[in-house]
Structures are given as structure tokens and as C-alpha cells.
Amino acid sequence: MAAAATAAEGVPSRGPPGEVIHLNVGGKRFSTSRQTLTWIPDSFFSSLLSGRISTLKDETGAIFIDRDPTVFAPILNFLRTKELDPRP
């Protein structure tokens, strides 16, 4: 069966929108949905999950992102809520 194209991206999807994606960001684990990570077209995460950017995986199969997890947490919260949290 051919991969479905996502409406927002127009590129092949590598999984269902409700799929849980596991990330290892700087050694800290995060889990979220594919839909949360890809709602912004042509973003880093849309490219990563569509296969346009190669991924590294850790020993558990989580996608490894070599960045500071304390900086990543507010980014993920923004993707989840579509609101910026002004707290430092």
C-alpha cells in the first residue's frame, strides 16, 4: 500500500497522525504524537518525520536530537498548545 500524503505537508507520511513518537533530546526522553510534531508545514520535525532529514536513533529506538532538553521542553509545549509560555 502506498504511503498517504499529509494535507499540511504534501509529502509522504511515515506513520499515522496519532502515532506516538519517542524522542531522546540530550539524554532526556520525551514522547508526543506525530500530529503534534508535524502541524507546522516544512518545519524541522515535519522534515525529520517525513524522511527528508536523516535521523539518529538511540538504543531504545527513540529519535536522538543532540540539543539541550531544558530548551526543548518549551518548544514541545508550544507545539502542543500553540501558545507561548512567557515563564523563564
**Architecture of domain 18-79 in CATH?**
2-Layer Sandwich (3.30)
Side chain identity, residue 5:
A
Cell triple for residue 26? 540530550
**Torsion of Cα atoms, 56 then 57 then 63 then 64, to 10°:** -70
pLDDT tens, residue by residue, 30-51: 999 999 999 999 999 999 999 9
Task: Round to whole Å and give the CA distance between 26 and 16.
Answer: 26
Overall pTM surpassing 0.85 (yes/no): no
Based on the number of CB atoms within 10 Å of its own CB, is 88 exposed (0-12), middle (13-18) or buried (19 or more)?
A: exposed
Domain map of the chain by residue range? 18-79
pLDDT under 70: residue ranges of the chain: 1-14, 87-88
